[in-house]
Chains A and B, each alone.
Chain A
Amino acid sequence: MISATQRRVFWGLVWFSILVLSLPTIIVLGASVTSGNMIAFPPEGFSLKWYEKIALARDIRGAFGRSLIVAFVCLVISVPVGTFAGIALTRYRLRFTSLIQIYLLLPFTIPLIGSGIGMMLVFGNWGILGHVWPVGLACAVINLPFIIWSVSSSAAVLDSDLELAAANCGAGRIETFLHVTLPGVMPGVITGGLLMFVLAMTEFLVSLLLTDARTVTLPVQIYNNIRSIITPDLAAISSVFVVVALIAVWLLDKLVGLEIFLKSK
C-alpha cells in the first residue's frame, strides 16, 4: 500500500472487521466469569461459579457427551471414506471425473436445511431416528467434501513413482499403501480429520433436525436455552466451544500452517 489515505481506509475497515469477528467471543468469555447473576459488561467481579454449575448440571454433561459421540462417529466414518475417495480421485484414472466431482460436492451445494430434512425422512424410514450415532453419520455426509479436498491436495503432490518403486522392491499392494501412500497423504488426512471433528462438535442445524429431547447435542442445548432465558451459565458452556476452537486453530497452524489458505492455485 503506497498511499497513506488507502492505508488509513483499509486498516480502518480491517479493524472494524476484527472487532465484529472477535468482540462477541471476548464478551462471551468475559460474561462467563462474572460473579453476578446477570450478563453484564464489564463483569461484576471474578468467579468460576458458572463453570462449577455447568459441570454439575446433568443435562449439559449429557449433551456434551453426546456431542463428543457425534464427533467421534463422524470421524470414524469420514476419515476412511474421505481418504479412499481423495486417493481415488487423484491417483487413479477414472472416467466421468467432472461428473463425480459435481456429485461429491452435493453436500455443499444442497442447502443445509434441505440435506437435513432429507436425512430426517430417510433415517425415519430406516427406523434409526432417536439414536445419537445417526447424527454423526449425517455430519460425516454434509462435511465430506472438506476431507476429500484436504486428502486430494496432499495426494496430488505425492510422486507416484514412489509407489512404483515400492512395488519394484517387492512390496505388496497393502504394504505399498501402508508404508508409502498413507504416510504421503497423512498431512491431508489429519487436517481433514481435525476439520470434520470440530465441525461435527459445533454442528447445529442438522443436529436440531435429527435429535429429540433425549438426544440433544450441545449446540442444540444452547439454542434451546437461549430461547428461554439468557444467563451466565450459557456463556460458560459457550466458552467450552471457544476453547475447542482455540485448540483447533493452534493445531491447524502447527500441522499445515494457516498461510496455506492464501495460496493461489
Chain B
Amino acid sequence: MTTDPDNSDFRYPLRWRLMDGAERLLEIVWPRRFGRFTGWLLLLPALLLVGILVLGLWQMAESSLHVLDRNTFLPSEEYTLSNYGTIWQSATYFKVIWRSVQGAVWTVVFTLLLAFPFAYVLVRTPRAWVRKLLLIALFLPFFIGQVVRAYGILIVLGTSGAVNDVFGLIGVGPYRLLFNFPAVVFGLVQYMLPFAVLMLAPALTSIPQETETAASSLGANWLRSMRHVVLPMAKPGIVGASLVVMTLSLTDFAMPAMLGGGSQDFIANAIYDQFFRTADQGLGSALALLLVALGSVLVAVIIGLFGAGTLGMGEKK
C-alpha cells in the first residue's frame, strides 16, 4: 500500500474523487436502467442539429405559399400556389433550369473523362511517392475552397492570363475565355474532379489487376480490356460518381456567379436574386423547394442503388 509521506490517514487523489462524484451524478441524472436509451441520448444532439434544416424546409414551404403584394412589398396573407404557377409559365426560369441541367451533364461527361484515368493511375501505380503526389494534387484544391479556386481560374483564363499568353506565343488570340458557358463548365469540372476521383478510386481498388492481365493474355488490346473488363466492374463507382457530380454541379452557385459574369445564371443564382435583388421571398422559396425536390430525386436514385450506408456511417456490427 502506498503511504502519504506527511499524512498518515490515506486520502484518495482529487482526480479519483472528482471521477467518483461524476459517476454518482450520472447515476442520478441518467441511471443504468435507462441503458436501453443511451444510444438515442447520444444521437439526440445530432438529430436536433439536422432538425434546423428540416425547420428551414418547413419555413420555405410556408413562405412559398404566399405571393408578394406589389403594393406593400409584404407577403400576402392568403395561401396560394400561384408562385409555382409563375415558375411553370415563366420562359426565363425554363431557360435557367435548362442551362443548369445542360451544365451539369457536360460537367459529368468531362469530369469522368478526366477522373477515370486519374483514379486508375492512382490505384495502379506501383510507386508510393507518385501516389502520394497525386493525392496531394487532389486534396489541396479540396481544402482551398471554391472562391479562391474560382479566383485562380479568373486569373488563368483572363485576357492577359497565362492561357492567352501561351496562345500569344504561338501567334493566335487573345481570346475571350471568361464569362461564357464553357468557362462555367470548366470551373465546375475543376471543382468536381477531386470528388469524382475519390468516389471512383475505391471501386477501382476492388478490381484485381489479374483480370486485366488475363484479358490481354487472351489477346485483348487495352481499349477492349478497359471496355469489357474494367468499366463493367467499376460501374457502381462510375454511376455513383456521376450522380454526385450531377447533383453538386446542378445546384452550384459560386462558379456560375464568378465565371459566368452574370450572364450564365444557374438555378441557385436565380434563387439568390429572388431573395436579395427583387426581395420576393415567396417566389425564391418556391424555386428553392423545386431544386431540393430535383436534388432529392437524384439522391433517392443513389440510395436506391447503393443503400443509405454509401458514406459508411454506422457500419453493420
Contacts and interface: CB of A to CB of B under 8 A. Distances in A.
A140 to B, nearest CB: 7
Contact of B149 (A2, A24, A264): A24
A89 B284 contact: no
28 contacts: A6-B223, A14-B121, A17-B118, A25-B149, A39-B155, A88-B43, A89-B314, A94-B43, A100-B314, A103-B47, A104-B46, A106-B50, A106-B54, A113-B253, A114-B57, A121-B285, A122-B55, A141-B50, A148-B313, A152-B313, A203-B145, A222-B147, A226-B151, A242-B140, A245-B145, A249-B140, A258-B136, A261-B202
Nearest to A207: B147
Interface stretch (B4-12, B79-87, B169-177, B286-294): B286-294
Contacts, number: 345
Given A93-B39, A101-B309, A175-B19, A10 B140 contact: no
Given A98-B308, A101-B314, A114-B60, A20 B140 contact: no
A112 B251 contact: yes
A25 B222 contact: no
Contacts of B312: 149, 152-153, 265
B313 A14 contact: no
Interface string A43-76: 0000000000000000000000000000000000
Interface of B: 19-20, 22-23, 26, 32, 38-40, 42-43, 45-47, 49-50, 52-57, 59-60, 63, 113-115, 117-118, 120-124, 131-132, 134-156, 158, 160-162, 165, 189-190, 193-194, 198, 201-203, 205-206, 212-213, 216, 221-223, 226, 247, 250-251, 253-254, 257-258, 267-268, 271-272, 275, 284-285, 288-289, 291-292, 295-296, 299, 303, 307-309, 311-315, 317
Nearest to A113: B268
A241 B145 contact: yes
Interface string A179-203: 0000000000000000000100111
Interface residues of A, number: 110
Given A31-B155, A219-B145, A245-B143, A113 B288 contact: yes
Given A85-B43, A114-B291, A202 B144 contact: yes
A117 B52 CA distance: 12
Contacts of A245: 140-145
B26 A173 contact: yes
Contacts of A22: 137, 140-141
B308 A262 contact: no
Contacts of B136: 249, 253, 258
A35 interface: no
